Amino acid sequence: MVRPGLGCVLGALVVAPCAGQGRLELSPFAGLYIPAAHVVDISANCPGGPCGEVLAQGIAPVVGARLTAWRNDRVALDFSVGYSRSRVTRHGLLAEIPSGVMVGRTPIDTTGTARITTGSARVLIRLSPHTDRASVYAAAGLAVVAHGGEAYSHVAGNTGWGPVFGAVGRLQVAPALALRAELDEHVYSFSGTAFTTPPDYSLGVVAGNYHSRLQHDLVLSLGLSVAR
């Protein structure tokens, strides 16, 4: 399920240079991937009281690259891919615990590692005067976010599509070089099916279908843009 979505984005990376008549920029970047919501938040009423679990994705480094095709000095098409590897923690809610109280480190709490792969296609619009060396842009478009790795090794699915919004700051340091700082927000949700029962699945998710809550993942990055 991951490959078709990422294939669309990677295909766009190849096609974009042919379509654009303006300047092209390649921007490798590094930064932080910051999930702002629990991946899964489940609560239920068990015979002895409330129970359930919460899965949280950790903050982690992210690396990637962007390809920007400038149509003119004001508007550009931007395509990106990113990769992050982080820890996922499962906190269990035990029966016979008062409602709303989360158990800390218990035998049913587990951790695992996960990878997140992102791809996006966006439009950049310049907000500052084109005569300035330092410029500011607003970005918006469509993104795909795929979850994988050990924490999701016994789960099918886990790929979500949704809008992506960003703010871009750019400083021209040479005719063909620019520093680029960016803050992006990916808004999406995803579904999955756990096809084995605990403890085979490292995070202990109950076998069956589940749907994540709405995700708000932030990507804070700094890169170097090289123009062709």
- Given a contact cutoff of 8 angstroms between Cβ atoms, the answer to whether 86 and 60 are in contact is yes
Nearest in space to 53 (alpha carbons), one of 18, 24, 88: 88
pLDDT computed for residue 209 by the predictor: 62
* pLDDT tens-digit readout, 135-158: 999 999 999 999 888 777 766 678
Q: 112 versus 162: which is more confidently predicted? A: 162
For the record, the structure tokens of 175 come out as 């005719």
Distances from the Cα of 56 to the Cαs of 52, 53, 80, 115, 166, in angstroms?
Answer: 14, 10, 25, 13, 23
Number of domains comprising the chain: 1
- Residue 134 belongs to what domain range? 2-227
pLDDT for 114 beyond 80: yes
Mean confidence (pLDDT) of the chain: 77
Q: Check pLDDT > 70 for residue 15.
A: no
Domain with residue 177: its CATH number is 2.40.160.20
pTM: 0.73
Q: What is the pLDDT of residues 157-172, one digit of tens each?
A: 788 899 999 999 999 9
pLDDT of residue 226 exceeding 60, the answer is yes
pLDDT score for 67: 97
